[in-house]
């Protein structure tokens, strides 16, 4: 991986990944792209290296951006997430599947490598819920999960049939202090940190006791780079690896934050749609395949993530209290 195009580069993962990749591979070797230039876009992403307007539903725009910048790898993050997907299933299918197909077709023609994030959403209520195995039943009940399973199968097909170097991971909920999450079921685990500092009270839309796998963004970014740099001959799996760093429910993250913000209070106002989605996902993942095949190991747990999140958010929110 030397010259990289990142689609969906202004989103929660992309806006941090682009800066990390530019530090590693050189600013001019990492092209950020998005369907539109958000006015809230991370200025550093827009100004520290090349940016292209790329709508992944338009193959020509993908071809032109990869040709102009002599790209050898596409990190394809443009996607609609779970909760928004249940409101707009047809839009999700178009972007998550036709967008992926276009990226894979360009990769086949131009011999690119491709990273595609799957998700714990690729599992459903009939999947073993605790320490969910790498290879197991995948019958998700959300359109987002269906698109993730279909995407995993399509990416493995492009590897087996056409030799496209496709690789992916099943991300858990991702927690970060830069860009906000964009319409997922795990978004509460980000907003709770902001409210702990801003209002000292959080109304949680996921029921107490609902365990979901989670990961701090620095670990997620390392995950992408390390998998894409891994020795291809050591990979028994490709799309996609179970990866996780921790599993917790709202009460656990609340208790950890309260150690630092004693006056912080939580209340519950459960969103039935998000709750139903959350309950269909695993309580915890077995990520031993990723650990064995390419050395995956997270650096952050709930305790150390909370310390770092609160510290960084205090700076960001100007709360230096």
Residue with tokens 């927690």: 175
Position 173 contacts ligand VAH (CB under 6 A): yes
Among 29, 34, 73, 82, the residue binding ligand VAH under the rule CB under 6 A is: 82
Asked whether position 15 contacts ligand VAH by CB under 6 A, the answer is no
* N-terminal to C-terminal alpha carbon distance within the chain: 42
Q: Which of 185, 210, 239, 244 binds ligand VAH (CB under 6 A)?
A: 185
Distance between CA atoms of 244 and 247, rounded to whole angstroms? 8
Q: Which stretch binds ligand VAH (CB under 6 A): 41-49, 169-177, 225-233, 309-317?
A: 169-177
Q: Tell me if 99 contacts ligand VAH by CB under 6 A.
A: no
Site for ligand VAH in 242-281 (CB under 6 A): none
Nearer to ligand VAH, 54 or 175 (CB): 175
Q: Please write down the long-range contacts of 272-275, taking CB distance under 8 Å and 24 or more positions apart.
A: 273/83, 273/86, 274/83, 274/185, 274/188, 274/205, 274/206, 275/205, 275/206, 275/207, 275/210
Binding range to ligand VAH, per CB under 6 A, among 54-62, 180-188, 193-201, 256-264? 180-188
Half-sphere exposure (Cβ direction) of 11: Cα atoms closer than 13 Å: 21
Q: Given 25, 144, 216, 268, which residue is catalytic? A: 144
Helices (H) and strands (E) in the chain, counts: 13, 14
Rounded to the nearest whole angstrom, what is the least distance from the CB of residue 83 to ligand VAH in the complex? 6
Min. distance of Cβ 120 from ligand VAH in angstroms? 5
Residue 144 catalytic?
yes
145: contact with ligand VAH by CB under 6 A? no
Burial 226-258 (b: 16+ CB within 10 A, else e): ebbebeeeebebbbbbbbbbbbbbbebbbebbe
Can residue 190 be called a binding residue for ligand VAH (CB under 6 A)? Answer: no
């Amino acid at each position: 991986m030397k010259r990289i195009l990142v689609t969906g580069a202004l989103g929660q993962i992309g806006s941090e990944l682009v800066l990390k990749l530019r530090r590693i591979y050189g600013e001019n070797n990492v092209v950020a792209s998005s369907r539109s230039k958000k006015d809230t876009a991370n200025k550093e992403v827009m100004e520290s290296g090349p940016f292209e307007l790329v709508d992944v539903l338009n193959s020509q725009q993908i071809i032109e951006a990869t040709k102009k910048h002599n790209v050898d790898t596409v990190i394809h993050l443009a996607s609609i997430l779970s909760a928004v997907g249940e409101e707009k299933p047809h839009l999700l299918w178009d972007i998550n599947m036709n967008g992926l197909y276009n990226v894979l077709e360009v990769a086949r023609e131009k011999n690119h490598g491709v990273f595609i994030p799957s998700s714990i959403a690729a599992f459903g209520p009939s999947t073993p819920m605790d320490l969910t195995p790498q290879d197991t039943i995948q019958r998700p009940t959300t359109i987002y999960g269906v698109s993730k399973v279909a995407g995993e199968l399509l990416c493995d097909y492009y590897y087996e049939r056409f030799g496209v170097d496709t690789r992916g991971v099943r991300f858990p909920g991702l927690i970060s202090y830069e860009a906000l999450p964009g319409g997922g079921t795990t978004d509460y685990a980000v907003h709770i940190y902001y409210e702990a500092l801003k209002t000292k009270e959080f109304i949680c839309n996921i029921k107490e006791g609902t365990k979901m796998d989670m990961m701090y963004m620095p670990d997620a970014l390392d995950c992408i780079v390390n998998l894409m740099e891994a020795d291809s001959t050591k990979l028994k799996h490709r799309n996609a690896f179970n990866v996780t760093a921790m599993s917790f429910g709202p009460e656990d993250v609340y208790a950890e934050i309260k150690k630092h913000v004693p006056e912080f209070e939580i209340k519950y106002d459960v969103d039935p749609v998000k709750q139903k989605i959350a309950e269909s996902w695993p309580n915890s993942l077995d990520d031993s395949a990723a650990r064995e095949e390419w050395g995956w190991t997270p650096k952050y747990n709930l305790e150390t993530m909370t310390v770092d999140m609160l510290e960084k958010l205090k700076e960001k929110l100007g709360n230096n209290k």
